[in-house]
């Protein structure tokens, strides 16, 4: 039996193949994660939800060695370019070392269970993992 799962953030869609969804300004095509009242780029107030590519390249990263209590360190925090949309996420399945992470590294979206409540419902977040190529 599969556990019930809920997305940790509103812009993660779990149905079908997991993917991210951005709010895209209908005036200038700027993309944002999370609800917006107005576009930070053009001031427009009309948005449409658009799916984000599930693969991308690491554009920036840091090795986090100090975090809030209860957050395991070290880990890799990165900015991933997903076909023109910047996504901030952690990298998983890679040692948290500059010897193993590089700019331009190809990565793919994955999901990770970040908690389970008393009824067994899993909270699921997203991350990226390295891919061959």
For 14-44, how does the pLDDT look when each residue is reduced to its tens digit (9 = 90+)? 998 999 999 999 999 999 999 899 999 999 9
Handedness of CA 128, 25, 36, 59 (dihedral sign): positive
Interstrand relation of 106-116 and 85-91 (parallel, antiparallel or unpaired)? unpaired
Judge whether residue 48 has pLDDT over 80: yes
Please state, rounded to an integer, the average pLDDT across all residues of the chain.
95
pLDDT at 90: 97
pLDDT at 96: 96
Instruction: Kindly report, residue by residue over 88-115, the tens digit of the pLDDT.
Output: 999 999 999 999 999 999 999 999 999 9
pLDDT at 2: 64
Judge whether residue 1 has pLDDT over 70: no
pLDDT at 132: 79
Judge whether residue 3 has pLDDT over 80: no
pLDDT at 73: 96
- The answer to whether the CB of 55 falls within 8 A of the CB of 36 is no
Size of the chain, expressed as the number of residues it contains: 133
Sequence ranges of the domains in the chain: 5-130
- The answer to whether the CB of 35 falls within 8 A of the CB of 41 is no
Q: Residue 133's pLDDT band (boundaries 50, 70, 90)?
A: low
- The answer to whether the CB of 8 falls within 8 A of the CB of 125 is yes
């Amino acid at each position: 039996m599969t556990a019930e799962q809920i997305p940790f953030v509103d812009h993660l869609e779990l149905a079908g193949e997991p993917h991210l969804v951005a709010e895209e300004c209908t005036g200038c095509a700027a993309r944002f994660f999370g609800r917006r009242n107005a576009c930070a780029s053009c001031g427009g107030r009309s948005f449409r939800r658009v799916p984000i590519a599930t693969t991308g390249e690491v554009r920036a990263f840091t090795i986090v060695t100090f975090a809030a209590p209860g957050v395991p360190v070290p880990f890799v925090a990165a900015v991933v370019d997903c076909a023109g949309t910047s996504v901030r996420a952690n990298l998983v399945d890679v040692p948290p070392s500059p010897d193993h992470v590089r700019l331009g590294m190809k990565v793919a979206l994955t999901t990770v269970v970040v908690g389970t409540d008393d009824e067994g419902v899993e909270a699921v977040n997203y991350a990226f993992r390295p891919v061959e190529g």
